[in-house]
A and B are shown apart, each in its own frame.
Chain A
């Protein structure tokens, strides 16, 4: 009697263990499938196309030459659509209406030199950034790192009244020994660096890249001082569309295609 009870208990325990293992396997498989299976583009974009909102007044990111839209953001949008194998359509909208257009569903995606804004994250979700337009400290290639403790003040060139001036003020407030060299245009600040009139210049990353394109014989070392990442944005409730676009960006960044697009325009 006791032996038969023990057998029954063992059998029951075995059955429970097998059931538990099966349930665990099912749950893991379900989670794996849910996480890893890519969404269906046709369902994520039910109109059969990606409608992209862009403010085409931001050269070289997006501009309207009268008949067509061109620019870095336009090329990036085309690359994302190609990656997802979907046709795309642009809607040119002023900045003040861009976010409303996304939230109201007039467009699926914003690609418009958008800086990531925490205040908007209840309504939209940003993808990974594709470019950082923060301020950079430019120095002549191979120049030693700036030493603000040297007897002679460090000469910093920048554009008058630009965001670079805010950085200079912060350095001054921190007690760094500086000789401020404000110029009327950022290109003049970079000229000063190139000609040895300044030890460093502070400009945004786009300005430095454009300047170097026009001065192929001159190279500068650069170090980011601030970060202003640009990202694309999708309405918060469109999780599948976000996964697709973010995934496409990941692929394009890994393959070097984003770098090629940036290099084409900057």
Chain B
């Protein structure tokens, strides 16, 4: 097909007239397209995963809670799946870490996007949230000089900065977060920035944080402690045992600056009903911390077990067999329900890690990094949902 020059001129002329007549619509279309491109350009490349319908937790054991580790999870779909599995487990609450260092990378400029995406999905699954706060941004850490600092090094001069973050967090999530834990395991040198642990300093941090949180949201529950179960004696470079640390917290005036105590109650190799003793680490060591509370006139305050559990690694010296881990975990819930009227949620460490660590910590989880549900998940689900388990999941030992 060929066109003569005069025919081409005629076609061009018609086309130009058409454009001129539609210039206003064309301009509008152009502006719309440009806006669309600009918005797409500025929009962060986040995978879009629908929130889904509002859910409620079906459970026969409302004390069941799990510690999630979603702060380092990159994919939205994995956050959603983790929280769905938590609800389907029959857990009514989660303990979740919200690092200060992630939210206030630059002093005074909060970025809540990381916390938002966890909290809105947890709420959509009908879960209560216990928020653990910690991890120091670089700008709040002391200049390193000769002594190395870590993400847990918080100088006294930055206590108010942390408290301001705790207050801002409580304000932003006043309708979503039930309780906040101030710091994690301050009785370990590692968790206190590789410095000697200092109960009085921790109480100063607690006091500053409590005031800010309560000012932002008087209904928020401030949890103190979250002490590591350890036998370290006074003067140890590694830390101080939890019993003495809590006692010294009270002596430093902690009582007026928290609403409930956060307790870590790992079972190690003992069954859940093994009697507590100062020189032994087991689940009922929590009762010794309770005794300290009572001795200091704090019997009316509850405690939250924000970490507990057993490990079933085949080689780790502090582990039990997988069958024991399942049985001990369920017996622990029963024991607490029957004997610990002062204990609120019992949060199992841990639901899932974002990636396998290829050593014994992997054997604390209910779900592997690739979302394989471990048998303990099903055992706990049967318990929490009130489903009867008809038979033992293993055979009797063969007899010679």
CB distance A59 to B190 under 8 Å?
no
Question: Does B326 interact with chain A (Cβ within 8 Å)?
Answer: yes
Known A-B contacts A57-B316, A159-B321, A185-B321; the reply to A97 vs B393 at CB < 8 A is no
A218 CB → nearest B CB, Å: 11
Residue from the list A58, A161, A188, A204 in contact with B397, Cβ < 8 A: A188
- Chain A residues with Cβ below 8 Å from B355 are 119
Question: Does A191 interact with chain B (Cβ within 8 Å)?
Answer: yes
CA A181 – CA B375 in complex, angstroms?
15
In the complex, how many residues of chain A place their beta carbon closer than 8 angstroms to a beta carbon of chain B?
34
B69 CB → nearest A CB, Å: 14
Query: Digit string of A113-127 for contact with B (CB within 8 Å is 1, else 0)?
Result: 111010100000000
Query: Digit string of A56-97 for contact with B (CB within 8 Å is 1, else 0)?
Result: 011101010000000000000000000000000000000111
Question: Does A232 interact with chain B (Cβ within 8 Å)?
Answer: no
Question: Does A165 interact with chain B (Cβ within 8 Å)?
Answer: yes
Known A-B contacts A161-B312, A161-B323, A161-B375; the reply to A57 vs B394 at CB < 8 A is no
CB distance B317 to A184 under 8 Å?
no
Query: Digit string of B388-400 for contact with A (CB within 8 Å is 1, else 0)?
Result: 0000011101101
Nearest neighbor of A97 in chain B, beta-carbon distance: B190
Known A-B contacts A97-B190, A183-B397, A195-B398; the reply to A58 vs B315 at CB < 8 A is yes
Counting chain B residues whose Cβ lies within 8 A of the other chain, the interface size class is 20 to 34
A73 CB → nearest B CB, Å: 11
Question: Does B340 interact with chain A (Cβ within 8 Å)?
Answer: no
Question: Does A226 interact with chain B (Cβ within 8 Å)?
Answer: no
CA A115 – CA B325 in complex, angstroms?
24
CB distance B358 to A182 under 8 Å?
no
Known A-B contacts A97-B190, A185-B321, A195-B400; the reply to A160 vs B393 at CB < 8 A is yes
Residue from the list A95, A191, A204 in contact with B314, Cβ < 8 A: A204
- Chain A residues with Cβ below 8 Å from B398 are 183, 188, 191-192, 195, 197
A159 CB → nearest B CB, Å: 7
On A, residues with C-beta under 8 Å from B are 57-59, 61, 63, 95-97, 104, 113-115, 117, 119, 159-162, 165-166, 181-186, 188, 191-192, 195, 197, 204, 206-207
On B, residues with C-beta under 8 Å from A are 148, 190, 312, 314-318, 321-323, 325-326, 355, 357-361, 372, 374-376, 393-395, 397-398, 400
